[in-house]
Amino acid sequence: MPRAWTASSRGSAKVTFYRHFPTKSDLVVAYLTRQAEAERAWFSATRRAGDAAGSLRALAEGIGAASCSPGFRGCAFINAAAELSDPDDPVRTVIDEHRQWTLDEFATIAADAGAPDPDATARQLMLLRDGAMVIGYLGDAESVADTLDAAFGSALAASDH
């Protein structure tokens, strides 16, 4: 057994770990903050300026691939919200901020598509995204991506009426 994994060093690592994350909420906040940064970078890089349908198609493909990857067990933000329902928990602040950012991005895409009520369309797109993330690990990536792309398209088309 390597020296790095002896009983005494495990205790030191545990002390260091708890020094950085004194509570479960502190650990979850740190994890979700990193997850939010990664998702925002991906979302922003995936968006296609001036091409709402292309943006949504690319997002659907990415969500399908991610949610159907080995080991995926749902959206980290949805899962954390289900576990920590206290609205005053700092975890909820991170969840709420990230979800609002995502809604705002969907509203921008809806506005680019000419939706008369971009906020309402954004809520529909978010609902579809959430559903795909929840069921993703039950299906295959192509099916989830194709279904989500079609649903995104339907939401945009319905907003024109």
| Euclidean distance between CA atoms 84 and 158, whole angstroms | 35
Structural domains of the chain ordered from first start: 23-159 (1.10.357.10)
The yes-or-no verdict on residue 6 having pLDDT over 80 is: no
Rounded to 5 degrees, what angle do the CA atoms 28, 95, 110 make? Answer: 145
Rg of the chain over Cα atoms, rounded to whole angstroms, equals 19
pLDDT value for 12: 55
Q: Label residues 13-25 b or e (16+ Cβ within 10 Å = b).
A: eeeeeeeeeeeeb
The yes-or-no verdict on residue 10 having pLDDT over 70 is: no
Return the number of other C-beta atoms located less than 10 Å from residue 142's C-beta: 12
pLDDT value for 84: 86
- 96-154: per-residue pLDDT in tens? 999 999 999 999 999 999 999 999 999 999 999 999 988 877 777 778 889 999 999 99
| Cβ neighbours for 79, distance < 8 A, ≥ 6 positions apart | 73
Phi-psi region of 40 (alpha: psi -120 to 50; beta: other; left: phi over 0): alpha
- 22-81: per-residue pLDDT in tens? 788 889 999 999 999 999 999 999 999 889 999 999 999 999 888 888 888 889 999 999
**147-155: long-range contacts, CB 8 A cutoff, minimum separation 24:** 148/60, 148/63, 148/64, 149/56, 149/57, 149/60, 149/61, 152/56, 152/57, 152/59, 152/60, 152/125, 152/128, 153/53, 153/56, 155/121, 155/124, 155/125, 155/128
Q: What is the pTM of this model?
A: 0.84
Return the number of other C-beta atoms located less than 10 Å from residue 117's C-beta: 12
The yes-or-no verdict on residue 8 having pLDDT over 60 is: no
Encoding tokens for residue 133? 């993330």
Encoding tokens for residue 17? 């770990």
pLDDT value for 1: 29
